[in-house]
Amino acid sequence: MVATSFKIEKFDGETNFNLWQVRMMAILVQTGLKKEVLMEKTSSTLWKRLETLLRLSF
């Protein structure tokens, strides 16, 4: 299995949110996680879900 690494800065409130959002969505699409992210209702459940998915993929 090949691991791909993406680097995106944490949104700091000072950069352009729309540009950051587009970059983040592109990464989610490329990694196949977009559907998983869009179904979560809160940020805490989103992070828990992503942690679970990442543990399963490695």
In a domain, 11, yes or no: no
In a domain, 40, yes or no: yes
What's the pLDDT score for residue 1? 47
pLDDT for 10-49, tens place per residue? Answer: 888 888 899 988 988 888 888 888 887 788 889 888 888 8
State the DSSP code for 4.
-
Structure tokens at 21: 């959002």
Number of domains composing the chain: 1
**Which residue range(s) make up the domain with 50?**
33-57
In a domain, 43, yes or no: yes
What's the pLDDT score for residue 18? 92
What's the pLDDT score for residue 58? 55
The pTM of this model reads 0.61
